[in-house]
Structures are given as structure tokens and as C-alpha cells.
Amino acid sequence: MSQVKAYSLFTDFDISLFKAGKHFKLYEKFGAHSMQFEGEGGVYFSVWAPSAKSVAVVGDFNYWDGSEHMLNVRWDSSGIWEGFIPLAKKGMRYKFKITSNNNNIITEKVDPYAHYFERSPNTASIIWDIKDYTWKDKNWMGYRKDKNDLDKPYSVYEVQLGSWKKNSEGEFLSYRELAVELVNYVKEMNFTHVELMPIMEYPYDPSWGYQLIGYFAPTSRFGSPQDFMYLIDAFHQNDIGVILDWVPAHFPSDQHGLGLFDGTHLYEHPDTKKGYHPDWKSLIFNYERNEVRSFLISNALFWLEYYHIDGLRVDAVASMIYLDYSREEGEWEPNIFGGNQNLEAVSFLKDFNTAVYNNFEGVQTIAEESTAFSGVTKPVDQGGLGFGMKWMMGWMHDTLAYFSKDPIHRKFHQNELTFSLAYAFTENFMLPLSHDEVVHGKKSLLSKQPGDEWQRFANLRTLYAFMFMHPGAKLLFMGSEFAQYEEWNFEKSLDWNLLEFLPHKGMLNFVKDLNLFYKETPALYEKAFSTEGFEWIAYDDNENSVLSFLRKGHDSENDILVVCNFTPTLKVNYKIGLNKKGYIKEIFNSDLLPYGGSGVKNAESVEVSHDTWNQRKFSASITLPPLGVVVFQHVDE
């Protein structure tokens, strides 16, 4: 006989919002909630399983016996099963035992809204309370908007927590250990933000976290939910914003997960042309189903509310918005207008972004979107998808292709560097050098560079400097800041021992200073997404493989001149056109000795002459170090 007491957290209004795809706080209703009812302590459980014949809660409180605690189905055809179980309490493991109307198949499923899970490879959900953490980031949350706006510096350190660093026994660092080691490191390196590759609970380590089971739970690999809050809190207390990778595109088909949840295609689209991802062998959410939309948007808002997250980087957006993504002819069907856009996914993304920006101030959403889809960062009310930023994948691919070439051939490929400026202001772009570029045989960023050892390091410094001077926000994957030799391997720590060697230590010093220069130079971020923030001096000096341009902020007195030499040839008396008379002084140089460079510098100040050059009234003769980027600022007479 069931020992479940009838109880509900759902109002009629909740149900109507859920069915309409407009309930964005489902985490307050679904799942396991510790409470008092009729003088007894226990847990209220609820789960959506409209095609279930019966749903039982099995766990530590009933010896995993599926006959003791049968939930009650609501009368309103919502498909919600619920009830209060007096014996359940925090820390106990549980699952939902679902008997389907479809051939009476019985499966044990995790709670889609669980806040905590057993350590992988175990799979049970754990009853947990996440409201008992005392945050200490009030200051950050108060001025976050001023740190996180699009006219502020955005230098992001991308991290996979399991492989950033391991302890002396080769085991994961805990969230609380990372709150010391990783936070101090990111702060010392002068990054403004950290981006964590997916930390939601996932069953399979080689997925790097991109195939999620527990959308509402930080993985227990590194500690408890409160431990993860402690890590976020530590970042915020050190003025570092936190971005989470979020994966609403697909999920794994593991038997205990969301797939065939109630014996039917509940969360995934029933048509494999829309519901199965051939590349990742995973299931695709059904964006046509309102309850699924409510689940996903509630999940996004959950991390922003309960974990004080500052931004969500949305993974694999292109796979969501195109019906023919990674599919051959005959493997997809056009939409009602005959096109290849997934109209429901597009609509979902608009609803997601609208909900995020309407409910939270000072946050950003960032799209990993690799196509020319128009209006990704355009406001929804103007016909766009509504993201705050978009990864500039074209810049990444073109720039890495250019830098992989021997400098002797670069004069024939200068357009690979300049092309990005033809569309740089069509979206709010973030320039990524991400994890995807240093795995699967693509080699590390250092190994992509041509030449001898000195030239490889100089090339890499030039690449980073060009990236930071180029309009847009910045993202650098862990290990790249000290020029890791090997590709990233998720199974082991980064090669921190390389810092014993001067070239790697020099690269670390360079990135630290580059970040600081970026943060302290308003011209590099105040108009990073506007044509007003950039002006070419010369993009056509192919013969010398030199690019020169101005970056501009709100105050023209802070404008800077950037000159890039992409060859190993020292260039003395290189003439550059200028808009003002007076002097220019060198304020940044990628070739300094502490960075492992050759130490070539300009004089303390360089006089500007009245000679016309580059179609400008004034000019100056400067020295360009080999494979180097030099930045100047104007000084009045």
C-alpha cells in the first residue's frame, strides 16, 4: 500500500504556464523538495510523465521497493505525478520507477530536476537543499552590470575543471580547492572572466561534459552544490565573472536519463530527422513541445538565480537552428516554408534570450554559432535571436590558417587576416581560441606555428597580440597561455612543468601583461562592437606582411595605433601614416625580453613629420620587431 500523501506545489496558473511553454521557474515546483506537511518532515516529489501507467519513488527510504511509494497523477491532464513522502530526507538517494502505458515497460529514471547526484559511474539522484548557502558576493552582484556590459573588457579563460590541474595523487581538485588555486591563478593572469566547460552532471568523461544527464545539478565529481557555490562566490569576490557552457541542443540516450523518459519520446523529438544527432549519437530536444521549452528555459534561469552565474555560452547553436545540419539529402525535411531553418528552435532561442534579459541584469548570453545566420546578436524585437555575443568562428579559422603558413608565403594570404574586418561589426563578436582547436589531431596552438623554436613562440605572441587588438571580446583556452606543446587531453592535467622553461614562462608573462594592457586601455573595449572603434591605417602592405590600424574609445585622446609585423624580418624606419602631429610613444610591445622576444624597441618618443603617407597628412618612421606587434599612443607637442 502506498505511503504517499496527496500534496501539490502546483497551482492552476502553474499548469497553464507549463503547458504554454511560459513557466520559467519549474525548479520551484518539480523535483524533490524537503518540507513539513501535517506536522511531519519529508519530501514532496513531482515528475512529468504523461504516458506513464504508474510512477513510484524508489530510494534509500524504502529499500528501493517500487511498491511502497506510488505517486498520484494530477487530474488536469498535465501528466504530472506528485506526492509527499514522510520518510524521505536530505542526503537520501532516489529514482523514479516508471511503468509505461507503452507495453508496460518499466524503467528507473533520475529526477530531471535533481540538484545533486551520486558520483559517476553511479547514477542515483540525491535529495538536497540548495537554499542554505550564504553568499558573500553582494558587492559583485551590485556592480556586476558595470563589469559585464558590452563596453567593458571581456577577456575569458576557458577551463575544463577536471583537467586544469590534478592533485599529487592524480585526482580531481575539489570545487573548494579550485576556489583557491584556479581563482588565484585567473586573477593573477588578469583575465576578467572564466568560462567553465559544462559542469552540469554528466555520465561520460570523454564527452567533456557536453552530454548532460542532470541539468539542474553541478557534477558531484568535484563536490556538493554548496561547494560549487563557494567556487563561484570566490570568483566574484575577486572581481571575476563566471560564464557556464549550457547545452540545450542535445542529450545522451543513457537508459537512466531523459531519453524515452515515460516510455515515449517525451523530451526528444519523435522524428529521428529532428530528434537524433548523427555526429554525437545523441538525442535532440523537441522544441515544438511547450513543456520541453519550459524545462530548458527554467534551467537557464536556474543557474543565473541560484548560482549567481554571469553568462551562459550556448553550445552548438548551429545544430539547433538548421534542419540539415550535418545531414545529407534525404536525411532532413524542409520547414513549412520550404527552408532549412528549424523554426521552432529559432523561436525557442528567442524566448530563452528574452527570458534571460528580462529577468536578470548584468548578464550575457553567448552563442557558439558557426554560420552566417543573420541577426544572432540582434535584439528579438528587431527580428534577431537576442544573444549578447556570438563566437567569431570565421576569424578563428582564417587566422589560424594564416599563422600556420611559413612567413615567406604570408604576403599572398593577407586577406585571411583582413577579411574579418569586413563583417566584424555585423554581430557582437567574441574571438575564441577554444578547446575545439587543440584536440583531435589539430595540434596545440604552439605546434601550429611554423619556424624554429624562437619563431614559434614569437608567432604565438603575435597571434595573441593581434587577437587582443582586433575588435571583439576574447577567449583563450587553458594551457594556451603558457604555450602547451601537446594537444589538450581531458584525462590528465595541463603540463604545468613547462613553466620551468624560459620560453613558456615568458609566454605566461606576456599573456598576463597583455590581459592587463587590454583591461587598462579603453580604446580596446569601449567601442569593441562598433565601426566607430576601428580605423584602418594600411591593410594592403602585403609585400611586408604588415597591418596597421587605430582602435578608438569614447575619448579620442585615448586612441591607439597598432602595427603588426607578421614576418621574422626586423623593419627599421617603417613609415606609417598618422592623423595628428606631435609625437607617438610605444606603450606595448610583444617582443620584449621578459616575454622571450628579441628586445627590439622604439625610442621613448617618435616624432611625427608633415610627410603625407597612407593618405594621411602626417607620418612617422618606426621600428617593427620581428614577428611582433607594437602599440603606440599619440602625445601632443
| C-alpha distances in Å from residue 584, one per residue of 401, 468, 514, 554, 576 | 33, 21, 20, 20, 11
d(CA 321, CA 124): 33
Residue 1 has pLDDT above 60, yes or no: no
pLDDT > 70 fraction of the chain, expressed in percent and rounded: 100
d(CA 291, CA 23): 8
| Burial classification of residue 131, based on how many CB atoms lie within 10 Å of its CB (0-12 exposed, 13-18 middle, 19 or more buried) | exposed
pLDDT > 90 fraction of the chain, expressed in percent and rounded: 96
Once rounded to an integer, what is the mean pLDDT over residues 374-380? 96
Q: How many CB atoms lie within 10 A of CB 5?
A: 15
Q: Give the model's pLDDT for residue 426.
A: 96
d(CA 146, CA 168): 40
Per-residue model confidence as pLDDT tens digits over 70-121: 999 999 999 999 999 998 999 999 999 999 987 788 899 999 999 999 998 9
d(CA 362, CA 154): 13
| Burial classification of residue 318, based on how many CB atoms lie within 10 Å of its CB (0-12 exposed, 13-18 middle, 19 or more buried) | middle
| C-alpha distances in Å from residue 289, one per residue of 127, 238, 282, 393, 613 | 28, 41, 18, 31, 62
**With the CA atoms of 45, 49, 55 and 61 taken in that order, what torsion angle do they form, in degrees rounded to the nearest 10?**
-30
The separation between the first and the last C-alpha atoms of the chain, rounded to the nearest angstrom, is: 92
- DSSP-derived letter for residue 315 is T
Tell me the backbone φ, ψ of residue 258, rounded to 5 degrees. Answer: -80, -20
d(CA 591, CA 588): 9
Strands 571-578 and 106-109, by their bridges, are: unpaired
**With the CA atoms of 50, 53, 59 and 63 taken in that order, what torsion angle do they form, in degrees rounded to the nearest 10?**
180
d(CA 626, CA 458): 8
d(CA 467, CA 472): 9
Q: Give the model's pLDDT for residue 104.
A: 80
Residue from 305, 95, 293, 115 nearest 201 by CA: 115
Cell of 517: 594592457
d(CA 575, CA 542): 15
Residue 637 has pLDDT above 80, yes or no: no
Please calculate the CA angle 474-158-129 and round it to the nearest 5 degrees.
Answer: 125
Per-residue model confidence as pLDDT tens digits over 542-563: 999 999 999 999 998 999 999 9
Residue from 393, 401, 486, 459 nearest 432 by CA: 393
341: left (phi over 0), alpha (psi -120 to 50) or beta: beta
Domains assigned to the chain:
12-126 (2.60.40.10), 179-364+381-389 (3.20.20.80), 531-635 (2.60.40.1180)
Q: How many CB atoms lie within 10 A of CB 4?
A: 22
Cell of 553: 574609445
Residue 394 has pLDDT above 80, yes or no: yes
Residues serving a catalytic function are 315, 368
Cell of 33: 523538495
CB neighbour list of residue 73: distance below 8 Å, 6 or more residues apart: 52, 55, 79, 80, 81
- Which helix (DSSP H) or strand (DSSP E) does residue 18 occupy? helix 12-20
Amino acid making up residue 69: H
Q: Give the model's pLDDT for residue 103.
A: 75
- Which helix (DSSP H) or strand (DSSP E) does residue 42 occupy? strand 40-48
- Which helix (DSSP H) or strand (DSSP E) does residue 359 occupy? helix 343-359
**pLDDT-derived band of residue 221, with 50, 70 and 90 as boundaries?**
very high
d(CA 460, CA 479): 13
Q: What is the mean pLDDT of the chain?
A: 96
| C-alpha distances in Å from residue 139, one per residue of 184, 233, 365 | 19, 11, 22
Query: What is the Cα 96 distance to its own chain's centre?
Result: 32
Once rounded to an integer, what is the mean pLDDT over residues 338-354? 97
Q: Give the model's pLDDT for residue 105.
A: 84
Cell of 35: 518540507
| Burial classification of residue 22, based on how many CB atoms lie within 10 Å of its CB (0-12 exposed, 13-18 middle, 19 or more buried) | middle
CB neighbour list of residue 485: distance below 8 Å, 6 or more residues apart: 444, 446, 447, 495, 498
DSSP of 396-441, one letter per residue? HHHHHHHHTS-GGGGGG-THHHHGGGGTTTSS-EEEEE-GGGGSTT
Q: Is 457 helix (H, G, I), strand (E, B) or coil?
A: helix
pTM surpassing 0.85? Answer: yes
